């Protein structure tokens, strides 16, 4: 199933630290050789400051207690640098920890800077040091510290470029700490900045958007409301454009979100067109499933794809999130996806059929006969389906409702009346307004 | 008479021993010699030690005196030439010139002695005049201008000669003695020291037989047949004269001499009576004697531009051999530039005249006037023109095509050079020229070109050399002072795959090119992708470049390129089985019936609109060379076939209101015409075939329809013919099925799907899928009975009154809407909250079901269901806008611009088509689609 693994395509668009959860997941799923993953981890860590962690992995990978010399040296290096940065940022950190002093700060940035400068002798150098310190903390894996410092830095900084990267850092830190609510806030803030900022080139902007979308996957598939929000974000023209341009693999997540989210029908039609258009650049069972159901009306194919989709979902680090309940774990998204996918097939199937054999239906729905019958009965009872079961022949008979021609005509003309009336009022109002003057 | 000097003079300079001169054979011959001798004598007098230490390589500073004498000598040469061809007009001119020069010389040498050179010229003229006057016949034959010049010359000479009477007489008496007097030291001068340097190499280089044959050839030249002699022979003589002048005293050739000569020739440029070929030859000779690389470069540039002048008219093209030489010269220019990186080529600043004086050893930058890119573009244009002019069915055309590698290598070198000096803007222009040579070549042709380039350039080099040694035999007599090794490659390199090459070039252009260059490169890129069957890539490029919107503001040749790219895209879409896309691409090209003109593949005649000759000429100049043509017959077949596939079921579906939903007007018109015919013979043209196929397809006979279409000859030009025909058959079956269902659904109550599969030879899932789609799209009022595998039809055929009522309501709602719009425009926007416009009848049904259906459950189903538009039709307005059409072609469902990833052609902006949701047969071609463009 590794062929549908998107990690190689996603990873380049993530921060180093954000790749770890993905690798952890892959390790768990046993898709790749364990050693390969461990090596990949060390490679990742090489450019971060989490040297201790790297050492641990090295030990497990090579089954030794020895650690390469350069790692030890690097560790000393990191510690020394941490120390110096800490010193540099110390005055500001001390100030920020003093609650009463912080009270003095106001909403006005310039006032604050002035205040710090006059009263506490904290100049731009210290503020800059705070940023570096926060960044370094992040690289060391101390995400909560990093998040705090970067937050405070943002309150004080005047450089918009710096502020932006501090925001990225904050977002990453929150994601890694799994504070989804806060992360979502930061995400929205970042999105606004990206949309409003003047980028030197449109390319940069598109790249920022692609990054943002990748990072947001963590949030959306963990946040309660994420599945609606992901559609809201990804399906915006600008973002859809960015997906089509630079990261068509994100279509998988959008497609999944659409399938599990019943309320977004109008946009869904547009989205199907996008999927068709992007067929040549990205295709996986989930998008193919949609094509089968809504483009080719190939229900057998759809059913086959549905089974593949299950695999894909289970092996996807975002979609296949597990929830542990007492002693067995479930993948909530998978269940939801399958249920909805089944409904999709059934819905379309019913639309074009008058009479359906229950056996065939059960097969198409990946259910056994009894289950299928129960499922249909439930639908009928919930008045979601206008049909009857003929249990003698074992068929479902659709009761299609075909509107009378006259009803249609009435429907057509109904709105005209009110529209015309509205128009007249408006014109009258307009005519009277000048007259009153 | 005069030419006899010549003959003799030549043999002198060529291969002669002094003995030749020692035994004068005719009385006039010696007259020639003193000229040179005199000049030499003076020089010898002034620079006694020159002959010792000069070795031809060292630069020699010449005195002003020498310069004057040189000038005069060259004028005398001109006189000789004019005499030879009996050209009194130029004789008159040169005579004036020599008089002027005489003044200068007198001033310089500060003596009263008239130079013998001048006297000699006078004598010569006098003789010739006498001869001409005595020859009455020749006089009569003269052209009026010539005769006039002759008469006035006679007067002038008479007057002039009176002043120098004594000298002339003296000269006539003692030519021999003077000659002999100086002969000896001259000989020692010349051969003693210069032999090794100059003569030896020549003699090595030039095989004896050639010179012999030439001497004899020249020897045969009698005054009588002078006029008939081919120009080049004359030129050669002339050239030789120049050469002789320089050759006799290579040491004395200074930068100034060359520069003066250069300027002199340059001034003559464009003047009446200046032979264009002659000028080229003169310049070419000068390149050999140029003293510094910069000077050589400067002169070479003039050679090239003189070569461009050879063909003055806009209509004709440059002679091919000149073109080839021109390319060679450009290569030499590049050699020099590569060898001397401190020389800069520039055309913007007025340059110091003495800039080129700086020699080899000069370190600082030297600026030389010139524009490589402009020259290259001109060469390309000439190549293009020659292909336009040559009849494509001749061998000549093929031969000409074989010259392409020559140009390719030049372009490649120029581009490399420009890149090495960091001028990427210019190099992108050159890259475009290269792109334009490749883009239209399918893989096979590209392979062939590659092979040819590898083969011929090997062979060519040899050939080239031999040709050169033939053509330039005389110019090679002296070794050029500035030796330029061949530094740049003489062989084009082609990567394995044309795509790789395109990618490299195109991305360079996207990065550095200006707007037009980028647009053209983009179109070529699209064309090439389409050629390689990469429809999706080509389509995305087209859409994200927004060229469709902008192309109307571009120049005509770019518009033609756009049309070519569109047609290729259409062909590509057809090959990969996207019929409606193919139709979308091609329909607009065919809507005006001016395909030939739009593709610049021939001039189309218009009955109603006479073209002015000017227009016609312009059009002719835009024509594509034959080997770049897109097969028009194939294009027409593809267009009509795809129109048929779309239109036949469409007509069947809308029998009642055929007026409303027309996909292809062109097709409908043709069909009408063919239906009016009382008798239809067997099909002959593409059109006939498609019409015949349409007739049987309407009746549901897919096999026959396919047979008729497949019998078209043109399919053999399609790359993968079998798969395309297979695809075509499949499509025809599908459309036949749809047509059948549309036509006969009212006659059935139920229909087994097995029967359908039998009828139309389709697989069960395929038939199921097609019918299902029709049901979902509400094209077919029916549903499946799954257990029996039948289609159950519900006949909801509207009665006439009902249909009319629907039309009425539709019109009413349009009326209401336009009212609202009108009032909105009047009252200012935003006043009304307009309900979204219903675009097609299909929504009515859904809405009616939802609202009026009564039962909530049924409504919900309908609501949830996705009424999909018939696939593809939404994008019918592909926007293949052909130039000069002002139709508001909808840039339909595809109007999704994409920002570009890697290449970054244009600002990434995406316009989501407002038409994406449009109903199945929204009248695409007439309604403008308002795009809600969202700029990124």
Record the tokens describing residue B2, joined without a space: 């005069």
- Token pair belonging to A94: 């001390």
Q: Which candidate from B785, B802, B812 shows the least CB-CB separation from A355? A: B785
Q: Over 80: is that where the pLDDT of A395 sits?
A: yes
Three-state SS sequence of chain A: CHHHCCHHHHHHHCCHHHHHHHHHHHHHHCCCCHHHHHHHHHHHHHCCCCHHHHHHHHHHHHCCCCCCHHHHHHHHHHHHHHHHHHHHHHHHHHHHHCHHHHHCCCCCHHHHHHHHHHHHCCCHHHHHHHHHHHHHHHHHCCHHHHHHHHHHHHHHCCCHHHHHHHHHHHHHHHHHHCCHHHHHHHHHHHHHHHHHCCCCCHHHHHHHHHHHHHHHHHHHCCCCCHHHHHHHHHCCHHHHHHHHHHCHHHHHHHHHHHHHCCCCHHHHHHHHHHHHHHHHCCCCHHHHHHHHHHHHCCHHHHHHHHHHHHHHHHHCCCCCCCEEECCEEECHHHHHHHHHHHHHHHHHHHHCEEEEEHHHHHHHCCCCHHHHHHHHHHHHHCCCCCEEEECCCCEEEECCCCCCHHHHHHHHHHHHHHHHHHHHHHHHHHHHHHHHC
A206-222: b or e for each residue (b if 16 or more CB lie within 10 Å)? bbbbbbbbbbbbbbbbe
Task: Give yes or no for a contact between A115 and A71, defined as CB atoms under 8 angstroms apart.
Answer: no
Least confident stretch, A173-177, A220-224, A235-239, B608-612: B608-612
Number of A/B CB contacts below 8 angstroms equals 193
Question: Would you tell me which residues 249-278 of chain A have a C-beta closer than 8 angstroms to some C-beta of chain B?
Answer: 265, 268-270, 272-273, 277
pLDDT score at B249: 52
Establish if A381 touches chain B: CB-CB under 8 angstroms. no
Q: Model confidence over A69-99: pLDDT tens digits?
A: 878 888 888 888 888 888 888 877 777 777 7
Strand partners, B30: none
Whole-number Å distance between alpha carbons of B598 and B583: 17
- Give the pLDDT confidence of B796-852 residue by residue, as tens digits: 667 788 888 888 888 888 888 888 888 888 776 544 444 444 333 333 333 333 333
Q: Which sequence spans correspond to the domains of chain A?
A: 224-346, 353-398, 404-432
Can you tell me which residue has the tokens 């680090």? A317
Residue of B nearest to A301 (CA): B765
Quick check: B536 and A205 CB within 8 A? no
Given a contact cutoff of 8 angstroms between Cβ atoms, the answer to whether B625 and B674 are in contact is no
pLDDT at B58 over 60: no
Model-level pTM?
Answer: 0.66
Token code pair at residue B748: 């059935």
Give the rounded percent of residues in chain B with a pLDDT score beyond 70: 60
User: Pairing between strand A328-330 and B790-793?
Assistant: unpaired
What DSSP designation does B319 have? -
Cβ of B848 within 8 Å of Cβ of A411? The answer is yes
Q: Do A245 and B899 touch (CB under 8 A)?
A: yes
Interface of A with B in 59-88 (CB under 8 A): none
If you average pLDDT over every residue of chain A, what do you get?
A: 82
Per-residue exposure over A56-82, b if at least 16 CB sit within 10 Å of its own CB, e if not: ebbeeeeeeeebeeebeebbeebeeeb
Question: Strand pairing of B790-793 and B750-752?
Answer: antiparallel
Question: Residue B779's closest CA among B739, B810, B730, B751?
Answer: B739
3 state SS of B885: coil
Highest mean pLDDT among B165-169, B655-659, B894-898: B165-169
Residue B63 predicted with pLDDT over 60: yes
CB B279, CB B265: distance < 8 Å = yes
pLDDT given at position B334: 83
SS3 of A300-313: the string is HHHHHHHHHHHHHH
Query: Within an 8 Å CB–CB cutoff, is residue A403 touching chain B?
Result: yes
Which residues in chain A are contacts of B536 at CB distance < 8 A? Answer: 277, 279-281
Mean pLDDT of B381-391: 84
Mean pLDDT of all residues in chain B?
Answer: 68
Given CATH 1.10.10.10, say whether it is the number of domain A353-398.
Answer: yes
Q: Is B910's CB within 8 Å of A237's CB?
A: yes
* Distance between CA atoms of residues A33 and B759, nearest Å: 55
Give the one of B768, B847, B857 whose C-beta lies nearest to A383's C-beta: B857
Is the model more confident about B131 or about B674? B674
CB atoms within 10 A of CB B871: 15
Interface confidence (ipTM) of the complex: 0.76
Chain A residues 200-259 within an 8 A CB cutoff of chain B: 201-203, 205-206, 237-238, 240-242, 244-246
pLDDT for B639 = 92
CB distance B408 to B434 below 8 Å: yes
């Amino acid at each position: 199933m590794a062929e549908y693994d998107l990690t190689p395509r996603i990873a380049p668009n993530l921060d180093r630290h954000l790749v770890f959860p993905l690798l952890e997941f892959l390790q768990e799923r046993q898709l790749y050789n364990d050693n390969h993953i461990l090596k990949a981890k060390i490679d990742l860590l090489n450019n971060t400051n989490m040297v201790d962690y790297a050492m641990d992995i090295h030990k497990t990978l090579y089954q030794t207690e020895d650690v390469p010399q350069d790692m030890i040296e690097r560790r000393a290096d990191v510690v020394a640098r941490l120390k110096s940065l800490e010193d540099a940022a110390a005055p500001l950190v001390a100030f920020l920890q003093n609650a009463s002093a912080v009270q003095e700060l106001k909403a006005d940035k310039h006032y604050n800077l002035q205040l710090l400068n006059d009263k506490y002798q904290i100049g731009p150098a210290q503020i800059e040091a705070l940023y570096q310190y926060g960044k370094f903390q992040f690289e060391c894996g101390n995400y909560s510290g990093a998040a705090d410092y970067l937050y405070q830095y943002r309150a004080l900084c005047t450089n918009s470029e710096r502020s932006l990267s501090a925001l990225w850092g904050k977002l990453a830190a929150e994601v890694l700490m799994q504070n989804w609510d806060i992360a979502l806030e930061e995400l929205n803030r970042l999105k606004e900045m990206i949309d409003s900022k003047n980028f030197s080139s449109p390319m940069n902007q598109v790249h920022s958007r692609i990054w943002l979308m990748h990072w947001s996957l963590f949030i959306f598939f963990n946040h309660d409301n994420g599945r609606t929000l992901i559609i809201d974000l990804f399906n915006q023209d600008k973002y859809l454009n960015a997906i089509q341009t630079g990261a068509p693999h994100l279509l998988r997540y959008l497609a999944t979100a659409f399938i599990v989210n019943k309320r977004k029908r109008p946009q869904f039609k547009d989205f199907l067109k996008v999927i068709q258009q992007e067929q040549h650049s990205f295709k996986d069972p989930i998008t193919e499933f949609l094509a089968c159901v809504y483009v080719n009306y190939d229900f057998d194919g759809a059913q086959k794809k549905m089974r593949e989709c299950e695999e894909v979902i289970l092996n996807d680090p975002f979609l296949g999130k597990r929830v542990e309940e007492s002693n067995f774990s479930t993948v909530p998204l998978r269940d939801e996806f399958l249920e909805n996918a089944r409904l999709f097939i059934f819905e379309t199937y019913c639309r074009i059929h008058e009479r359906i054999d229950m056996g065939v239906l059960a097969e198409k729905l990946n259910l056994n006969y009894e289950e299928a019958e129960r499922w249909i009965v439930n639908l009928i009872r919930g008045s979601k389906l206008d049909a009857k079961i003929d249990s003698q022949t074992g068929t479902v008979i659709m009761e299609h409702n075909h509107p009378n021609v006259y009803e249609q005509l009435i429907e057509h003309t109904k709105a005209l009346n009110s529209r015309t009336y509205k128009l007249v009022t408006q014109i009258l109002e307009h005519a009277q307004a000048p007259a009153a003057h | 008479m005069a030419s006899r000097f010549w003959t003799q003079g030549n043999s002198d300079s060529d291969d002669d021993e002094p003995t030749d001169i020692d035994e004068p054979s005719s009385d006039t011959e010696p007259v020639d010699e003193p000229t040179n001798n005199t000049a030499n004598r003076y020089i010898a007098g002034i620079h006694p030690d020159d002959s010792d230490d000069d070795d031809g390589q060292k630069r020699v500073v010449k005195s002003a005196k020498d310069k004057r004498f040189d000038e005069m000598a060259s004028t005398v040469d001109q006189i000789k030439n004019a005499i030879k061809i009996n050209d009194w007009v130029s004789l008159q001119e040169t005579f004036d010139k020599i008089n002027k020069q005489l003044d200068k010389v007198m001033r310089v040498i500060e003596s009263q002695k008239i130079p013998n050179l001048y006297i000699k010229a006078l004598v010569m003229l006098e003789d010739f005049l006498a001869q001409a006057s005595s020859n009455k016949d020749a006089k009569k034959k003269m052209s009026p201008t010539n005769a006039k010049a002759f008469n006035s010359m006679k007067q002038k000479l008479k007057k002039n000669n009176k002043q120098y009477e004594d000298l002339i007489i003296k000269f006539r008496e003692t030519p021999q003695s003077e000659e002999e007097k100086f002969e000896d030291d001259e000989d020692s001068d010349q051969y003693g020291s210069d032999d090794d340097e100059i003569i030896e190499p020549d003699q090595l280089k030039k095989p004896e037989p050639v010179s012999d044959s030439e001497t004899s050839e020249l020897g045969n030249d009698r005054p009588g047949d002078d006029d008939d002699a081919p120009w080049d022979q004359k030129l050669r003589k002339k050239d030789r004269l120049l050469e002789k002048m320089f050759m006799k005293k290579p040491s004395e050739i200074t930068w100034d001499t060359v520069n003066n000569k250069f300027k002199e020739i340059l001034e003559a440029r464009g003047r009446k009576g200046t032979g264009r070929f002659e000028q080229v030859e003169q310049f070419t000779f000068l390149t050999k004697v140029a003293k510094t690389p910069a000077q050589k470069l400067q002169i070479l540039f003039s050679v090239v531009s003189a070569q461009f002048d050879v063909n003055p008219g806009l209509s004709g093209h440059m002679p091919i051999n000149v073109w080839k030489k021109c390319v060679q010269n450009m290569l030499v220019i590049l050699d020099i530039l590569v060898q001397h990186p401190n020389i800069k080529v520039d055309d913007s600043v007025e340059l110091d005249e003495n800039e080129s004086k700086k020699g080899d050893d000069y370190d600082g930058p030297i600026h030389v006037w010139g524009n490589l890119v402009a020259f290259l573009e001109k060469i390309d244009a000439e190549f293009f023109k020659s292909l336009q002019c040559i009849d494509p069915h001749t061998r000549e055309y093929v031969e000409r095509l074989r010259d392409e590698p020559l140009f390719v290598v030049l372009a490649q070198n120029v581009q490399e050079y420009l890149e090495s000096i960091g001028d990427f803007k210019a190099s992108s222009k050159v890259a475009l020229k290269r792109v334009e040579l490749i883009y239209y070549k399918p893989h096979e042709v590209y392979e062939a070109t590659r092979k040819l380039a590898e083969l011929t350039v090997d062979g060519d080099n040899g050939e080239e050399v031999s040709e050169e040694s033939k053509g330039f035999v005389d110019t090679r007599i002296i070794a050029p002072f500035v030796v330029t090794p061949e530094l740049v490659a003489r062989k084009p390199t082609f990567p394995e795959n044309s795509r790789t090459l395109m990618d490299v070039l195109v991305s360079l252009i996207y990065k550095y090119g200006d707007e037009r260059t980028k647009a053209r490169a983009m179109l070529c890129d699209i064309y090439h992708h389409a050629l390689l069957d990469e429809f999706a890539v080509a389509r995305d490029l087209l859409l994200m470049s927004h060229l469709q919107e902008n192309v109307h503001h571009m120049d005509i040749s770019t518009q033609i390129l756009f049309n070519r790219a569109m047609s290729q895209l259409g062909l590509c879409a057809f090959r990969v089985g996207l019929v409606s896309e193919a139709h979308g691409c091609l329909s607009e090209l065919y809507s005006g019936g001016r395909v030939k003109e739009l593709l610049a593949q021939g001039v189309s005649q218009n009955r109603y609109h006479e073209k002015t000759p000017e227009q016609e000429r312009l059009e002719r100049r835009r024509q594509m060379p034959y080997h770049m043509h897109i097969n028009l017959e194939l294009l027409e077949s593809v267009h009509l076939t795809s129109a048929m596939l779309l239109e036949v079921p469409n007509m069947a579906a809308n029998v009642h209101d055929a007026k409303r939903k027309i996909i292809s007007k062109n097709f409908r018109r043709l069909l009408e015409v063919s239906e009016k015919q009382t008798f239809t013979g067997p099909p002959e043209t593409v059109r006939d075939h498609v019409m015949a196929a349409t007739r049987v397809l309407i009746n549901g006979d897919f096999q026959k329809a396919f047979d008729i279409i497949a019998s078209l000859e043109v399919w053999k030009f399609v790359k993968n013919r079998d798969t395309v025909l297979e695809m075509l058959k499949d499509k025809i079956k599908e459309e036949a099925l749809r047509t059948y269902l549309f036509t006969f659904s009212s006659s059935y109550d139920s229909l087994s799907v097995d029967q359908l599969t039998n009828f139309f030879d389709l697989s069960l899932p395929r038939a199921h899928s097609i019918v299902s789609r029709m049901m979902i799209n509400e094209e077919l009022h029916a549903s499946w009975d799954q257990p029996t595998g039948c289609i159950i039809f519900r006949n909801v055929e509207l009665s006439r009154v009902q249909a009319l009522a629907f039309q009425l309501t539709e019109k009413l709602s349009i009326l209401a809407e336009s009212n609202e719009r009108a009032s909105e425009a009047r009252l200012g926007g935003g006043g009304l909250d307009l309900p979204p416009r219903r675009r097609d009848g299909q929504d009515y049904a859904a809405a009616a079901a939802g609202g009026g259906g009564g039962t909530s459950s049924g409504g919900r189903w309908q609501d949830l269901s996705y009424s999909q538009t018939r696939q593809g039709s939404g994008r019918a307005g592909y926007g293949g806008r052909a130039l000069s059409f002002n139709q508001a072609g909808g840039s339909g469902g595809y109007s999704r611009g994409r920002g570009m990833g890697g290449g970054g052609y244009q600002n990434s902006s995406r316009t989501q088509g407002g038409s994406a949701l449009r109903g199945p047969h929204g009248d695409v071609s007439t309604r403008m689609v308002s795009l809600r463009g969202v700029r990124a």
